[in-house]
Amino acid sequence: MNDWVEACAAEEIDEEDVMRFDHGGRTFAIYRSPDDEFFATDGLCTHEKIHLADGLVMDDIIECPKHNGRFNYKTGAAKGAPACVNLKTYPVKVDAGKVLVQIG
Amino acid sequence: MVIVGAGECGGRAALALRDLGYEGPVTLVGDEPHLPYERPPLSKEAMASETPEIRAITSDELLAEKSIRHLRSVRAAGIDRTAHVVRLSDGASLSYDKLLLATGSTPRKLPMPGLGSRCVYLRTFADALAIRAHLRAGSRIAIVGGGFIGLELAASARKLGASVTVIEAQPRILMRGVPVEIAGIVHDAHEAEGVKILAGQGITAIADDSAEVRVTLADGKDIVADLSVIGIGAVPVTTLAAEAGLTIDNGIAVDAELRTSDPDVFAAGDCCSFPLAVYGGRRVRLEAWRNAQEQGALAARNMLGAGEAHAAVPWFWSDQYGLSLQIAGLSDEGRGIVRRDLGEGAFILFHLAEDGRLVAASGIGPGNTVARDIRLAEMLIGKRAKPAPEALGSPDVKLKALLAA
Ligand SMILES: Cc1cc2nc3c(=O)[nH]c(=O)nc-3n(C[C@H](O)[C@H](O)[C@H](O)COP(=O)(O)OP(=O)(O)OC[C@H]3O[C@@H](n4cnc5c(N)ncnc54)[C@H](O)[C@@H]3O)c2cc1C
Ligand code: FES
């Protein structure tokens, strides 16, 4: 599956913010960075399967709302305890104001 | 480097020493038979699963890879500070350049005769398994103490259909550190789930005949249960430090760099009291998971000579049923309260000092509704900000904008 899936309109997400996106029984988190780029990762924290979209975005870090585990949402790298397993990331592109994610 | 106590704090400190590039020997001494593990799940929903699993914060492979020597089921029995040697319960000894005491805290014991095998405390994985064995539909659980651990356990026990009574001597539950409005929400949630809360009720006697336990209340009534869990707070584990002649003051007393009265000995986590910079150096002792984690890492940096002062803002969370509560800062520093409603019944109370400084924020709501704003409040507290009360009270004003201001 190489299909690009439409997640939302670009304008639905503020800069330096995150939104939850559910598709096909899976959940993702879509980010808009402070420099206006879009990214996508798995939606659930690797510590306790909590929705990251309730968390706080600061620069290129998403902080989990539950215990403040940190990830770089651009690379998926776990950046702070208790998060130690990396997040999966997905390619994103913006086309005609729509955010598309390649969830494959 | 020697670390005594292989809990959250000790475990994090050991890993941090390696992450910081330290290449000398690191030994982690723990009297429990496990890898360092997380305690918070022990009272929460994870308890309600068929076979609760231990959640280790590291693995044997990782410890081996990082050459961290972890001695299990061994107690540090004494410290010879002059010789820089820790004596172990198995007769061995370890010499150290720097020593970290991360001995944690232990449940406050109920000072009463009559406690037997059906009166238990909750601190370790072993405790949690012993309690779990009694939790089933219809079993009667009496929880002495309406603090966080007791209440979380009450919620887990209800999930399994046990009949639960919580007995609290204070006029309400969560008397310490939790504003009355928030404690009220927690109280109502428990009653709605069928927990019986008896607040303002001291207990006068407890009798355990190994078939059942009988808790006698101040008003003369008896609560009969299959198990009584006592959750009346925790006390710091300081014996080792005290016997070594280190200064004790509501915990092992450390300075802002987590150094004890001996410059080669550090203490961190639940066992220590330290000056909290954000409140002008007020000496506090925290029993909180993130503090244990952060102080473990800070102690590691300072054992390697960083000379870095503690600067974090206290943060705590608790989960009961679908509700999550988070507190940043210590609310007793506040004089006035501003409330922000976030919808879905979620709200945050901002605690302001007399001069308008934001000193704490307490929030409660379903799921993680309050998390983001509490985190931003924590940063505002750290910045010693004085946000306009109207802005705090208005959900339309983003806290992130206040932080940038
Ligand atoms: C049931 C429960 C639920 C909790 N829930 C939350 C929560 O929701 N949120 C939150 O913020 N915090 C929570 N906490 C608190 C949090 O778990 C603690 O703050 C944290 O574990 C402290 O870490 P520590 O390493 O300082 O101490 P500990 O975790 O207590 O570890 C200390 C270790 O040192 C060992 N030790 C002591 N003396 C010696 C010795 N002489 N030799 C060798 N080993 C020794 C002890 O046996 C222990 O294993 C909870 C605690 C419990 C018990
Ligand atoms: S669930 Fe994300 S840090 Fe724990």
pLDDT surpassing 60 at residue B212? yes
> Both ends of chain A: CA-CA distance in Å?
5
Q: For chain B, what percent of residues have pLDDT higher than 90?
A: 96
B217: Cβ–Cβ under 8 A, 6 or more apart, which residues?
Answer: B167, B198, B201, B202, B203, B204, B223
pLDDT surpassing 70 at residue B248? yes
Structure confidence at residue B97 (pLDDT): 98
pLDDT surpassing 60 at residue B102? yes
Structure confidence at residue B114 (pLDDT): 85
pLDDT surpassing 70 at residue B88? yes
State how many domains chain A has: 1
Q: Which domain holds residue B125?
A: 109-230
Instruction: Tell me, yes or no, whether B358 lies in a domain.
Output: yes
B290 — contact with chain A (CB < 8 Å)? yes
Counting beta carbons within 10 angstroms of the beta carbon of residue B113, is it exposed (0 to 12), middle (13 to 18) or buried (19 or more)?
A: exposed
Residue A69 with chain B: CB contacts under 8 Å: none
How large is the average pLDDT for residues B171-183?
95
Task: Compute the distance from residue B370 Cα to the ligand 2 centre, in Å.
Answer: 15
Q: Which of B57, B297, B368 sits opposite A54 (nearest CB)?
A: B368
The rounded distance, in Å, linking the Cα atoms of A20 and B337 is 32
The rounded distance, in Å, linking the Cα atoms of B176 and B196 is 20
Q: What amino acid is encoded at A85 in this protein? A: V
**Closest residue of chain A to B325, computed from CA coordinates:** A66
Among candidate residues B205, B230, B255, the one where a domain is terminated: B230
Q: Are residues B137 and B218 in the same domain?
A: yes
The rounded distance, in Å, linking the Cα atoms of B56 and B212 is 34
Cβ proximity of A76 and A62 under 8 Å: no
Instruction: Tell me, yes or no, whether B309 lies in a domain.
Output: no
Q: How confident is the model at residue A72 (pLDDT cuts 50, 70, 90)?
A: very high
How large is the average pLDDT for residues B359-366?
98
User: Residues B8-18: pLDDT tens digits?
Assistant: 999 999 999 99
B38 — contact with chain A (CB < 8 Å)? yes
Q: Are residues B239 and B214 in the same domain?
A: no
- Chain A residues 37-56 with a CB less than 8 Å from chain B: 50-51, 54-56
CATH for A74: 2.102.10.10
Q: Are residues B53 and B35 in the same domain?
A: yes
Structure confidence at residue B210 (pLDDT): 81
Among candidate residues B230, B262, B277, the one where a domain is terminated: B230
Q: Which domain holds residue A39?
A: 4-102
A65 — contact with chain B (CB < 8 Å)? yes
Could you tell me the pTM of the whole model? 0.95
How large is the average pLDDT for residues B199-213?
93
**Closest residue of chain A to B38, computed from CA coordinates:** A82
Structure confidence at residue A1 (pLDDT): 54
Task: Compute the distance from residue B12 Cα to the ligand 2 centre, in Å.
Answer: 16
User: Residues B278-331: pLDDT tens digits?
Assistant: 999 999 999 999 999 999 999 999 999 999 999 999 999 999 999 999 999 999
Instruction: Tell me, yes or no, whether B312 lies in a domain.
Output: no
Q: Name all contacts of B89-97 with Cβ < 8 Å and 24+ positions apart.
A: B89/B31, B94/B2, B94/B27, B94/B29, B95/B2, B96/B1, B96/B2, B96/B264, B97/B1, B97/B24, B97/B264
Are B369 and A54 within 8 A, CB to CB?
yes
Instruction: Tell me, yes or no, whether B317 lies in a domain.
Output: no
User: Residues A1-53: pLDDT tens digits?
Assistant: 568 999 999 999 999 999 999 999 999 999 999 999 999 999 999 999 999 99
State how many domains chain B has: 3
How large is the average pLDDT for residues B217-238?
96
ipTM: 0.91
Structure confidence at residue B334 (pLDDT): 95
Q: Are residues B222 and B117 in the same domain?
A: yes
Q: How confident is the model at residue B96 (pLDDT cuts 50, 70, 90)?
A: very high
How large is the average pLDDT for residues B358-363?
98
Ligand 1 shell residues, CB under 6 Å: B 4-10, 29-32, 39-40, 42-43, 75-76, 102-105, 122-123, 149, 237, 240, 269-271, 287-290, 292, 316-318
> β-strands B282-284, B272-276: how paired?
antiparallel
User: Residues B54-70: pLDDT tens digits?
Assistant: 999 999 999 999 999 99
Whose CA is closest to B63, among B6, B123, B102? B6
The rounded distance, in Å, linking the Cα atoms of A100 and B363 is 35
CATH for B115: 3.50.50.60
User: Residues B109-118: pLDDT tens digits?
Assistant: 999 998 999 9
Ligand 2, closest atom to CA A82?
A: 3
Q: Are residues B204 and B244 in the same domain?
A: no
Average pLDDT, chain B: 96
Instruction: Tell me, yes or no, whether B313 lies in a domain.
Output: no
Among candidate residues B196, B230, B264, the one where a domain is terminated: B230
The rounded distance, in Å, linking the Cα atoms of B384 and B358 is 7
Structure confidence at residue B336 (pLDDT): 96
Structure confidence at residue B47 (pLDDT): 83
Are B371 and A54 within 8 A, CB to CB?
yes
DSSP string, B109-172: PP--S---TTEE---SHHHHHHHHTT-STT-EEEEE--SHHHHHHHHHHHHTT-EEEEEESSSS
Tokens 């409660």 found at: B364
Q: How confident is the model at residue B373 (pLDDT cuts 50, 70, 90)?
A: very high
> What are residue B390's phi and psi, to 5 degrees?
-65, -40
The rounded distance, in Å, linking the Cα atoms of B144 and A71 is 40
